[in-house]
Amino acid sequence: GQQLNQSPQSMFIQEGEDVSMNCTSSSIFNTWLWYKQDPGEGPVLLIALYKAGELTSNGRLTAQFGITRKDSFLNISASIPSDVGIYFCATANTGNQFYFGTGTSLTVIP
Partner 1 sequence: KAGVTQTPRYLIKTRGQQVTLSCSPISGHRSVSWYQQTPGQGLQFLFEYFSETQRNKGNFPGRFSGRQFSNSRSEMNVSTLELGDSALYLCASSLGQGGKTQYFGPGTRLLVL
Q: Please name the residues in contact with 107: beta carbons below 8 A apart, sequence gap of 6 or more.
A: 10, 11, 12, 13, 84
Query: What b/e string do you get for 42-63 counting C-beta neighbours within 10 Å, with b at 16 or more?
Result: ebeebbbbeebebebeeeebbb
What's the rounded Cα separation, in Å, for the pair 5 and 2?
10
Task: Rule CB under 8 A: say whether 105 interacts with partner 1.
Answer: no
Query: 66 vs 103, which CB is nearer to partner 1?
Result: 103
Q: Which is nearer to partner 1, 50 or 57 (CB)?
A: 50
Residue 30 in contact with partner 1, rule: CB under 8 A? yes
| Residues of this chain, 33-62, that bind partner 1 according to CB under 8 A | 33, 35, 40-45, 48, 50
For partner 1, the binding residues (CB under 8 A) are 1, 30-31, 33, 35, 40-45, 48, 50, 88, 90, 92-100, 102-103
